[in-house]
Amino acid sequence: MAITTEMVKKLREATSAGIMDCRNALEQANGDFDKAVDYLREKGLAQAAKRAMRAASEGVIELYSHGNGRVGVMIEVNCETDFVARSDAFRKLAHELALQIAASAPICIREEELTKEALEHEAEIAKAKASEEGKPDAVTPRIVEGYLEKYKNEVVLLRQAYIRDESIVIQDLVNQTVVSLGENIVIRRFARWVLGEESE
């Protein structure tokens, strides 16, 4: 059975597991939603969803400088307790996230933070490109949808492929740490600067 983006999205909303974990679970369950949820629970990945409801007000502000001071990143990552905030695993995650932002230049943390205008602008670019390439009108909506998904994967931090292991996305990396530490983890905010870059 073909696993659709909608199926993955529905499972992700229900469990907060990563995109690749959801797709894999649906493939293992042959598209059966309930079996896919069970599969994620067995792997401990659905636990991240339960923990996501708990308050996260401790944490760390990680600073990272790259390329002899040419790129700088500041990120705030929160957890539930000071004990976890001081742990090596949590600090490593914050450092890896800062490294990811320096290397991949996301524009936001979550998909919901993308503006309607930005998505409409990207959709227009995709339509124009499809038209230039002489694609039939009937397939244009699918081309636009695919283009927008690719755009989101490039600019949304939690959807980006992890620079050290492209088989997982950043949401998966966060979820793995949530499961191993047993606490909710929230990426609160970040800023990225490039030397000589004009501020908006």
Domain ranges of the chain: 5-51, 58-110+157-194, 115-153
Q: What are phi and psi of 66, to 5 degrees?
A: -130, 150
Structure tokens at 72: 């700088």
Residue with the two structure tokens 């996230």: 97
Q: For residue 52, is pLDDT > 60? A: no
115 by Cβ neighbours in 10 Å (0-12 / 13-18 / 19+) ranks as exposed
Q: pLDDT tens digit string along 123-164?
A: 888 888 887 887 777 878 888 888 889 999 999 999 999 999
Count the alpha carbons within 13 Å of 138 in the hemisphere toward its beta carbon: 0
For the whole prediction, is pTM greater than 0.75?
no
Q: Which amino acid is at 96?
A: E
Q: pLDDT tens digit string along 58-104?
A: 899 999 998 888 999 999 999 988 899 999 999 999 999 999 999 99
Residue 178: closest CA among 111, 61, 87? 87
Q: Confirm if 48 and 179 have CB atoms less than 8 A apart.
A: yes
Please tell me the predicted confidence (pLDDT) of residue 19: 78
Structure tokens at 64: 């990272």
Please tell me the predicted confidence (pLDDT) of residue 134: 78
**Top-level CATH class of 115-153?**
mainly alpha
Superfamily for the 58-110+157-194 domain: Elongation factor Ts, dimerisation domain (3.30.479.20)
Q: For residue 53, is pLDDT > 80? A: no
- CATH tag, 5-51: 1.10.8.10
Same fold, 5-51 and 58-110+157-194: no
Please tell me the predicted confidence (pLDDT) of residue 57: 75
Q: pLDDT tens digit string along 36-46?
A: 877 877 776 55
Whole-angstrom Cα distance, residue 119 to residue 152? 9
Whole-angstrom Cα distance, residue 160 to residue 101? 10
Looking at the DSSP bridge assignments, the partners of residue 173 are none
Please tell me the predicted confidence (pLDDT) of residue 49: 58
Could you tell me which residue, 191 or 3, shows the higher pLDDT?
A: 191
For 161, residues 6+ apart whose C-beta sits below 8 A from its C-beta are: 153, 168, 169
Kind and range of the H or E run holding 134: none
Give residue 28's Cα distance to chain centre: 22
